[in-house]
Amino acid sequence: MEIPSTKPFFSDESIKAISGEIEQVLKSGNLILGPYTSRFEASFKEYCGVKRAVGVSSCTAALEIVLRYFDVTDSDVVVPTNTFIATSNAVLYAGGHPVLADINPDTLCLDPKDLQQRITPQTKGVIVVHLAGLPCPDVNEIHSICRENGLFLIEDVAHAHGGTIGGRKTGSIGDAGCFSFYPTKVMTTCTGGMITTNDDKLANYAVSLRHHGVGSGLTQIVNLGNDWLMNEVDAVLGFHQLAALENNLRQRNDIASQYSTAFEDCEWASTFRVPADIRHSYYKYPVLLSPAIDRQQLNQRMKKERGIALGSVYDPPCHLQPVYQRIFGYRDGMFPVADNILKRVCCLPMYPQMTATEVKYVVDSLSTLLPACKKETAIV
Distance separating alpha carbons of residues 79 and 111, to the nearest angstrom: 10
Binding map of ligand PLP across residues 158-197, x = CB under 6 A, - = no contact: xx--------------------x-x----------x----
Q: Looking at beta carbons only, is 78 or 366 nearer to ligand PLP?
A: 78
Specify the stretch interacting with ligand PLP by CB under 6 A; choose among 103-111, 112-120, 152-160, 221-229: 152-160
Distance separating alpha carbons of residues 162 and 281, to the nearest angstrom: 6
The reply to whether 299 sits near ligand PLP by the rule CB under 6 A is no
Q: Looking at beta carbons only, is 138 or 361 nearer to ligand PLP?
A: 138
The reply to whether 129 sits near ligand PLP by the rule CB under 6 A is yes
CB 6 within 8 A of CB 351: yes
The reply to whether 155 sits near ligand PLP by the rule CB under 6 A is no
Specify the stretch interacting with ligand PLP by CB under 6 A; choose among 139-147, 155-163, 197-205, 267-275: 155-163
Ordered strands of the 123-129 beta sheet: 52-56, 193-197, 176-180, 152-156, 123-129, 76-80, 97-101
Our measurement of the distance from residue 8's CA atom to the centroid of its chain's CA atoms, rounded to an integer in Å, reads 15
Specify the stretch interacting with ligand PLP by CB under 6 A; choose among 54-62, 228-236, 298-306, 329-337: 54-62
Shortest Cβ 103–ligand PLP spacing (Å): 13
Which residues lie closer than 8 Å to 197 by C-beta, 6 or more apart? 50, 51, 52, 54, 66, 175, 176, 177, 203, 206
The reply to whether 156 sits near ligand PLP by the rule CB under 6 A is yes
Enclosing H/E stretch for 239: helix 232-243
Specify the stretch interacting with ligand PLP by CB under 6 A; choose among 72-80, 83-91, 144-152, 294-302: 83-91
CB 153 within 8 A of CB 123: no
Distance separating alpha carbons of residues 197 and 133, to the nearest angstrom: 20
The reply to whether 89 sits near ligand PLP by the rule CB under 6 A is no
Position among 86, 119, 126, 132 found at the interface with ligand PLP (CB under 6 A): 86
Position among 37, 81, 83, 251 found at the interface with ligand PLP (CB under 6 A): 83
* DSSP letter, residue 172: S
The reply to whether 133 sits near ligand PLP by the rule CB under 6 A is no
Position among 25, 48, 50, 59 found at the interface with ligand PLP (CB under 6 A): 59
Helix 12-28 / helix 232-243 crossing angle, nearest 10 deg? 160
CB 282 within 8 A of CB 249: yes
The reply to whether 202 sits near ligand PLP by the rule CB under 6 A is no
Distance separating alpha carbons of residues 66 and 127, to the nearest angstrom: 11
CB 137 within 8 A of CB 97: no
Specify the stretch interacting with ligand PLP by CB under 6 A; choose among 58-66, 168-176, 253-261, 341-349: 58-66
Distance separating alpha carbons of residues 157 and 80, to the nearest angstrom: 13
Strand partners, 288: 270, 345
Specify the stretch interacting with ligand PLP by CB under 6 A; choose among 27-35, 80-88, 204-212, 324-332: 80-88
Residues of the shown chain interacting with ligand PLP in the complex, contacts defined by CB under 6 A: 58-60, 83-84, 86-87, 129, 156, 158-159, 180, 182, 193
